[in-house]
Amino acid sequence: MNFNIRGENIEVTPALREYAEKKISKLGKYFREELNATVYVNLKVYNDKKTKVEVTIPLSQLTLRAEEVNADMYAGIDLIADKLERQIRKYKTRVNRKARELKENDIFVNGVTPVREKEDKNNDEIEIVRAKRFDLKPMDSEEAVLQMNLLGHDFFVYTDAETNNTNIVYRRKDGRYGLIETV
């Protein structure tokens, strides 16, 4: 794994960098092959002395992402590593189930036993409970945000008028907007 560790309002010390790399590198044990991925770690400190750790690991078949706000940066890194491990185990369980059905290999090591999350059995299976069909009207991102707000949704799918690609605008947790552009 290659690490890209940035700090906002904090200097990333060698000790902090080493601790983050050590904790997150342990996730490599869940994969069949050496991970050739860049791990993006963003460390932030706010005025109220709270810290935020964000980790994104883009892989070929999935993207692992987690964020944690904590008073202690090191504790936040520990919690992030745990969250990412739970995500991998949950995904591994689903992938292995599908692979057994389809008799395919997955990207995970078979020897690692998935841990059942403490959740309702109904959440174990993904169930689509509603489907909608609609035409994508060509528009720009500003118009898409207005449409999303008019509908009271947290996201809106539209066709970009300039590129003719399907894009998605969404409302972020901080109340601002994000844009996902497809290629």
Read off the CATH number of the domain in which 164 is found: 3.30.505.50
Q: How many domains does the chain have?
A: 2
Is residue 110, in this structure, part of any structural domain at all? no
In CATH, what number is assigned to the domain containing residue 38?
3.30.160.100
Is residue 116, in this structure, part of any structural domain at all? no
- Same domain as 95, residue 55: yes
Residue 34 pLDDT > 90: no
pTM to 2 decimals? 0.58
pLDDT band of 116, cuts 50, 70, 90: very low
**Exposed e or buried b for every residue in 155-177, given b needs 16+ CB within 10 A?**
ebbbebeeeeeebbbbbeeeeeb
For residue 20, the SS3 value is helix
- Same domain as 172, residue 88: no
Mean pLDDT, residues 88-96? 79
Query: What separation, in Å, do the N-terminal and C-terminal C-alpha atoms of the chain show?
Result: 26
